[in-house]
């Protein structure tokens, strides 16, 4: 006698006749865990097996099911598409960074930028911000670490400082920001150079994370560095002015006398410690929003809608000095 055992709690028995006296359960509604045992050689068993397979779809892919080969192919093509897209974004970012740095040429960190150049720079900055590879900079503090060189800013309060670099004997050699994420400190430094010595002005600050992009900065101390002697001034033997040759040997003697006196003064004070003073003004606190960050470029926004573009020390984006 043929028998169908579905589970211990449910069974249906069939007589030897070809007709099934007991209705067949709706097999496709039973759980997948149901075990079906059919007697070998039974016509009824074969028929039920056929019904079971047709209703369960055995031997054919289910609706929405992907064959293993197709599934493998689909995943591979998707991964390739993602990789190609990422490569395109990286290429576009590198192109925009190069164009941005080239736009800075002749602007004196923004002091002499024309309205047309400013508009071009703003457009490039906006495009880079849209492709920011580090959407949460304060969660990637090690990437912020190190010394960053100011390349461009719209912060008008810094323009008088830049203007000092246009004086005949004074040059603003470098403006930098050094971040230590382990100790949460920021050091802003302006390096001045003259004919005989260099000196610096530094502000030391602490910062606290306020959001994935924003930090709060509190300035605590100012430091005026002691002058460091530079190489002596080289005076040529002559100069040509409007086609006329001028002998500079008498002038060289005067310069050497002044240089010796200045060097003596510089040596007398170079051994002294830098002058430090506390910063206690109401404007000692500020905030900074980093809108673009990668391994060699940082774009930040601050008070009064100001924009700062900084390049990591050692980056190939920095102008190469001879």
Q: What is the CATH number of domain 137-225+274-312?
A: 2.40.128.20
pLDDT over 50 (residue 69): no
CA dihedral 295, 301, 302, 303 (to 10 degrees): 170
Q: How many CA atoms lie within 13 A of 220 on its CB side?
A: 9
Kindly report the CA angle at 242 between 241 and 243, in degrees rounded to 5?
90
pLDDT confidence of residue 53: 47
What average pLDDT does this structure show over 31-39? Answer: 40
Q: What is the 8-class DSSP label of residue 135?
A: S
* CATH 2.40.128.20 domain residues, the chain: 137-225+274-312
- Name which residue leads in pLDDT, 27 or 82: 82
Q: Is the pLDDT of residue 164 over 60?
A: yes
Question: What's the pLDDT tens digit per position in 185-208?
Answer: 999 999 988 767 788 999 999 999
Most confident of 40-44, 77-81, 159-163, 197-201: 197-201
pLDDT digits (tens, 9 = 90+) for 265-321: 666 666 678 889 999 887 889 999 999 999 999 999 998 789 999 999 999 999 865
204 φ/ψ sector (left φ>0, alpha ψ -120 to 50, else beta): beta
262 — pLDDT class (breaks 50, 70, 90) = low
Confidence of residue 82 (pLDDT cuts 50, 70, 90): confident
Q: Give 257's pLDDT tier (boundaries 50, 70, 90).
A: low
pLDDT of residue 102: 96
Q: What is the pTM of this model?
A: 0.65
Tell me how far CA of residue 275 lies from CA of 54, 189, 205, 226, 232, in angstroms. 91, 14, 17, 8, 26
């Amino acid at each position: 006698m043929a028998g169908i055992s579905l589970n211990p709690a449910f069974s249906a028995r069939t007589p030897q006749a070809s007709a099934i006296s007991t209705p067949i359960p709706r097999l496709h509604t039973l759980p997948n865990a149901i075990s079906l045992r059919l007697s070998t050689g039974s016509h009824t068993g074969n028929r039920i097996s056929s019904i079971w397979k047709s209703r369960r779809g055995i031997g054919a892919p289910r609706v929405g099911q992907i064959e293993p080969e197709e599934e493998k192919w689909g995943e591979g093509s998707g991964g390739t598409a993602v990789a190609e897209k990422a490569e395109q974004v990286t290429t576009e970012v590198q192109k925009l960074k190069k164009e941005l740095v080239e736009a800075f040429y002749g602007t004196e960190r923004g002091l002499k930028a024309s309205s047309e150049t400013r508009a071009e720079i703003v457009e490039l900055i906006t495009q880079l911000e849209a492709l920011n590879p580090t959407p949460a900079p304060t969660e990637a503090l090690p990437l912020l670490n190190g010394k960053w060189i100011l390349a461009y800013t719209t912060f008008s309060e810094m323009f008088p400082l830049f203007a000092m670099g246009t004086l005949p004997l004074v040059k603003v050699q470098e403006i930098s920001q050094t971040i230590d994420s382990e100790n949460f400190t920021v050091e802003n430094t302006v390096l001045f150079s003259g004919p005989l010595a260099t000196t610096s002005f530094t502000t030391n600050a602490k910062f606290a994370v306020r959001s994935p992009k924003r930090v709060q900065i509190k300035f605590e101390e100012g430091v005026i560095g002691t002058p460091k002697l530079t190489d002596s001034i080289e005076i040529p033997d002559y100069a040509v002015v409007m086609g006329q040759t001028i002998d500079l040997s008498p002038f060289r003697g005067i310069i050497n006398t002044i240089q010796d006196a200045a060097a003596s003064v510089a040596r007398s004070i170079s051994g002294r410690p830098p002058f430090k003073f506390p910063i206690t003004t109401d404007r000692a606190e500020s905030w900074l929003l980093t809108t673009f960050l990668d391994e060699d470029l940082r774009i930040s926004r601050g008070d009064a809608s100001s924009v700062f573009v900084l390049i990591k020390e050692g980056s190939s984006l920095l102008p190469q000095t001879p």
